[in-house]
Amino acid sequence: MKDEFDAIVVGAGPAGCAAALSLARNGLSVLLIERGRFAGAKNVTGGVLYGAALNELVPEFWKEAPVERRVTRHVVTFLSQRTAVSIDFDSKGLEQTSSSGFTVLRAKFDRWFAGKVEEAGGVVITGIPVDDLLWDGQRIAGVIAGGDSIPAPVVVAADGVNSVLAKKAGLGVQLSPANVNQGVKEIIKMPRELIEERFNLDENDGTAIHFLGHCTRGVHGGGFIYTNKDTISLGVVVQLKALIDNRLRSVELLEGFKEHPSVRALIKGGTTVEYSAHLVPSGGLTAVPRLCADGLLVTGDAAALVLATGRSLEGLNFAVASGMAAAEAVKTARQKGDYTSKTLSAYTDLLAGSFVMQDLKTFKKAPRFLENQRIYSVYPELACSLAERLFTVDGKAKRTVWQLGLEEVKRKTSAWQLVKDVMAARRAV
């Protein structure tokens, strides 16, 4: 078999596009294969893209990429059944940099990213799923797609969560209901001026709101609202195991979330124009499989490279950074003419030296900590009921904040339990 390409990249999400673009820019002939009708056709993200990694690849990408808004307001909101308490960080006064979050819509963003690969000389084929790996003895030697065998000395698997290629390569991917979340999302259309007025935004500024508590009926997960130019992205992300154990359906949670008085007010007058659902890895460091085999590297969600700490969900930047690192390793392998896992493991070293593995290590206890049910039930309820009492003036003698706080803690849990949970949080997140 003669190799027509120096590398094949499977999946034109952010991991695959970043890998293919880096390879093409370095003069390698690269084939990017995407099963969707076009890149981003079915891809789902909340989505806030943190841009530092992408900025290395495409400097000042936001000037040409179809980003929606730059996030200048980050809000964390605790929900009870009827009330809400928020921590609101407004950074309009700060100089905004590439590491500010940008809201994106994947159908536009991925298409742009795949277009950059073509501009750089890469070949992008869409509408064809890769069905299998091509083997040359024990070594991976290309892919099988649309009934054709396409040989290449190295394959970059960027085929997302539940990666067929990583499984077929035997890299030890362990996807289970406990280490994967299900996200459901709506895009709600609304006039641009209304969004800016309602979310207190200047032109091009954006808001990211993360919700905890009643949005998931107190089970492991959270909700989000992100502002785009003239739409709002709204959704819930819930651990699959929590859905199964509690016999909940994420679509019902989404409907309930939209009905919460504080949320209803934010989306009033909007029209749902899109609905989507997708899985996202949440197992952290221990869920990361082996990252290479002879002739194959695995990147992004396919390698479970996602950081979920409860305060944010970062997968896009991890995907871009891992795609770029995979491309570096392929370049080295090509120079040496050696595509064994020994040489390709330069990828693992590059990731170990980057924020990707360092963050997953720093927050390695986060997945276990986030199993604590009280984070989603007791504490949001506690914050809301304390705020309700603080802001209720009913003509009776008032109590101090400390007294009210202690009473609410005792009513909802115990002071000792609270201390233990705070200590666990200190170590994990």
Q: Which residues of the chain form contacts with ligand FAD (CB under 6 A)? A: 10-16, 33-36, 42-49, 129-130, 158-160, 164, 183, 185, 235, 237, 278, 280, 300-302, 306, 313-317, 319
Q: Which is nearer to ligand FAD, 226 or 379 (CB)?
A: 226
Least distance between ligand FAD and beta carbon 104 (Å): 9
Smallest distance from ligand FAD to CB 266, Å:
17
Bridge partner residues of 206 (DSSP):
71
Strands 155-157 and 296-298: parallel
Looking at the Cβ atoms of 10 and 215, the one nearer to ligand FAD is 10
The conformation of residue 96, written as its DSSP 8-state character, comes to P
Contacts of 139 (CB under 8 A, 6+ apart): 294, 295, 339, 340
Contact between 39 and 129 (Cβ < 8 Å)? no
Cβ-proximal residues to 255 (8 Å cutoff; 6+ apart), any chain? none
CA distance 373 to 371: 6
Alpha-carbon gap, residue 396 to 124, rounded angstroms: 70
Residue with Cβ nearer ligand FAD (34 or 68): 34
Task: State the nearest-atom distance from the C-beta of 53 to ligand FAD, in Å.
Answer: 11
- Helices 316-336 and 355-362 cross at an angle (nearest 10°) of 130
The residue among 264, 260, 261 whose CA lies nearest residue 217 is 260
Question: At 271, which helix (H) or strand (E)?
Answer: strand 271-281
* Residue 75 CB, nearest approach to ligand FAD (Å): 14
Cα 246 to Cα 254: distance, rounded to the nearest angstrom: 15
List, in sequence order, the alpha helices (H) in 78-224.
Answer: 106-119, 164-168, 192-198
Distance CA 385, CA 408 (A): 7
| Nearest position to ligand FAD, beta carbon | 315
Please state the closest distance from residue 110 (CB atom) to ligand FAD, in A.
7
CA distance 132 to 148: 10
**Smallest distance, Å, CB 307 to ligand FAD?**
8
Least distance from ligand FAD to the Cβ atom of residue 391, Å: 31
Minimum CB distance to ligand FAD, residue 18 (Å): 8
Strand 292-293 and strand 296-298: pairing?
antiparallel
Closest CB to ligand FAD among residues 115, 405: 115
- CB 329, min distance to ligand FAD, A: 17
Nearer to ligand FAD, 312 or 340 (CB): 312
Q: Report residue 25 as tokens.
A: 């820019």
Contact 58, 64 (CB under 8 A): yes
Cβ-based nearer residue to ligand FAD, 105 or 384: 105
Nearer to ligand FAD, 48 or 378 (CB): 48
Identify which of residues 19 and 409 has a Cβ nearer to ligand FAD in the complex.
19
Least gap, CB of 138 to ligand FAD (angstroms): 22
DSSP assignment of 287-309 equals G----EETTEEE-GGGGT--EE-
Minimum distance from CB of 341 to ligand FAD (Å)?
Answer: 20
**Helical pair 14-25 and 106-119, crossing angle rounded to 10 deg:** 20
311, 429 Cβ separation under 8 angstroms = yes
Residue with Cβ nearer ligand FAD (144 or 404): 144
In this structure, how many other beta carbons lie within 10 angstroms of the beta carbon of residue 58?
A: 18
Q: Which is nearer to ligand FAD, 164 or 285 (CB)?
A: 164
Nearer to ligand FAD, 164 or 188 (CB): 164
Task: Compute how many other C-beta atoms are within 10 angstroms of the C-beta atom of residue 229.
Answer: 16
